[in-house]
Chain A
Amino acid sequence: MVQVMNVTKKYDETPVVNDVSVTIKQGQITSFIGPNGAGKSTLLSMISRLIAKDAGEVRIGDKDITKTKSRELAKKLAILKQSNEMNARLTVRELISFGRFPYSQGRLNAEDWEHVDQAIDYMELWSMQDSYIHQLSGGQRQRAFIAMVIAQDTDYILLDEPLNNLDMKHSVQIMKVLRRLVKDMGKTVLLVIHDINFASCYSDDIVALKNGHIVAQGTTEEMMASEVLTDIYEMDMPICRINDQKICVYFT
């Protein structure tokens, strides 16, 4: 369980996330949605200790993140940001092996390599395990980073817009993997996502933010309602049911 209690973040006195409290259920995919500048990414970054919060408390399982050692947290929670630009010249396999750093501090043992192999297996990366990261396409790179997160073997996986700049095929691939991670390994996945229809098709719960506040939350079934979404996005959001999925047709 992830518990967020009265968390606030201000930039120059302007609150970006304002007194937010939310509880995220174990073993589910929870999507954070909302318009640009709603504070979704900031909230996710605070939950994952990437940025400091100005007030409030975050608990991951039974651990308060400000009172727990970073290395211990790294075994419980993994975060993947949307931009993964880096200078280092390394291969897919080497990148994935970094996922074991919290356990091995850089000296990987046989068990660590087993986790690396499993992650490569899981993401079907065998054919490109020796390719250099900077030579890969966006979709392939995203898969490599997710494999690293899998090797990190944490109960909680946080993703900030994992579908950013990906085409439809790769987006579906990534979302299916996340679904499998929840089903097969009992992971808890939190993601910030812009595409409301991906959120609808793949998540269990949806939390909506706007102007730094949570304006609505509930199961996907409850949240994918025209009135709710219209309030959040301040535009017409008609919902259709297609192939047993709720799809929002907001394009025109």
Chain B
Amino acid sequence: MRFNWKIMSLAMLSLVLAAIFMFTDAGGNWDYVLQHRAEKLLAMVMTGGAIAFSTVIFQTITNNRILTPSIIGLDSLYILLQTALVFFFGSTSALVINGPLNFFVSLALMLGFAVILYYFLFQGEQQDIFFLLLVGIVCGTLFSSISTFLQVLISPDEFLTIQDNMFASFNNVNSNILGISVAVFVLLFIYSLTFMKYLNVLSLGKDQAVNLGVPYKYAVKRLLVIVVLFISIATALVGPITFLGLLVANVAYELMKDYRHSVLLAAAALAAVAFLIGGQLLVERVLGFNTAISVIVNFIGGIYFIYLLLRGNKAWSR
């Protein structure tokens, strides 16, 4: 990739924010603070990258700029799983307390659900994306309702355990699954590189992709699995935060005005990292931990979403 000043400035912004986050306002105890903050920072970089990649790839496959992978109900499935585990096994069960175990169970369940959903999508000739979305939204609502039902039944003490998982927050990063997440993230990233060459062609639409010799079903199925795994890592690490993806993917399109995914993915990932660190700084230093970062993400993301809708059709045709 040739030198790109927009990418460079996004990278600089992320670095500066990271430096501010790491080295200011430490209040003495450096050893503890640095290690604690480094863990948070690592989690934010990974989450940002995972969310950005999954959203951009998902939007390219679906040829739609206002969808996020969360629409197929992965977030609510995650919360349902956490609720069900506490409900059936209690908040002291290994499935709840043992971080790595919980991580892999969550990953497997979300992947399994997505594969079933995709199976429906790829069965029909038309591969109607709206059908997938409809099924996803219905499932998502069902999962949320069951979660709420179970949460009403359990004792308030146990509910607190679930509540921690319901909102994305870097204040209680699952540091014992950080190592595993990094490993899965890196492996996934390397695997996804083999499909990068297809992404540009896929953005021309399905017919053109087939015409130009992309093994369409093969590539799209694997890309969708990559999307789900990225989302699952981010969700298991910090909680549901996929709305961020909509924000950064569109920032990347607007800022770069380019079709190349090498550029778009890099820009989206850097924007996500900058946004997360900036948001976390706001939560910690300005708002004094009085709110979770997901509130800020949803607030700004929501405003941006309305802006996209108000701008009308232009937003869909890049």
Contact = CB atoms under 8 A, between A and B. Distances in A.
A98 B125 contact: no
Interface string A64-79: 0000011111110011
B36 interface: no
Interface residues of B, number: 26
Given A52-B125, A81-B207, A134-B317, A89 B259 contact: yes
Contacts of B203: 86-88
A240 interface: no
Interface string A99-113: 101100110000000
B287 interface: no
B213 A102 contact: yes
Interface string B188-227: 0000000001001101110110111111100000000000
B316 interface: yes
A101 B213 contact: yes
B207 A79 contact: yes
The interface residues of chain B, by DSSP majority, are classed as: loop
B125 A51 contact: yes
Given A89-B257, A89-B259, A94-B259, A74 B211 contact: yes
B213 A70 contact: yes
Given A51-B125, A98-B204, A90 B259 contact: yes
A50 B214 CA distance: 11
Given A52-B125, A105-B197, A106-B200, A89 B210 contact: no
A85 interface: yes
A220 interface: no
A78 B317 CA distance: 25
Interface string B121-134: 00001000000000
Contact of A101 (B63, B212, B258): B212
Contacts of A31: none
B254 to A, nearest CB: 10
Nearest to B125: A51
A88 B214 contact: no
Interface in A43-84: 48-52, 69-75, 78-81, 84
B257 A98 contact: no
A98 B211 CA distance: 11
Interface in A215-237: none
Contacts, number: 75
Contacts of A203: none
Nearest to A76: B213
B213 A74 contact: yes
Nearest to A99: B212
A205 to B, nearest CB: 23
B318 A134 contact: yes
B40 interface: no
A197 to B, nearest CB: 28
B248 to A, nearest CB: 17
Given A101-B201, A134-B317, A50 B207 contact: yes
B65 A87 contact: yes
A142 interface: no
A81 B201 CA distance: 16
A94 B201 CA distance: 11
Contacts of A50: 207, 210-211
Contact of A87 (B63, B201, B215, B257): B63
Contacts of A152: 211-212
Contacts of B200: 88, 98, 106
Contacts of B317: 87, 134
24 contacts: A11-B125, A48-B211, A49-B210, A50-B207, A70-B214, A73-B213, A79-B207, A80-B211, A84-B205, A86-B63, A86-B204, A86-B205, A87-B65, A87-B203, A88-B203, A88-B204, A89-B253, A89-B259, A94-B259, A101-B201, A106-B197, A106-B200, A106-B201, A134-B318
The list of the 7 closest CB pairs from A to B, nearest first, reads A74-B213, A71-B213, A88-B203, A89-B318, A88-B259, A102-B213, A90-B259
Interface of A: 11, 48-52, 69-75, 78-81, 84-90, 94, 98-99, 101-102, 105-106, 134, 152
Given A73-B213, A84-B205, A134-B318, 18 more contacts: A51-B125, A69-B213, A71-B215, A74-B211, A79-B207, A86-B63, A86-B203, A86-B208, A88-B318, A89-B318, A98-B201, A98-B208, A98-B212, A101-B201, A101-B212, A101-B214, A106-B201, A134-B317
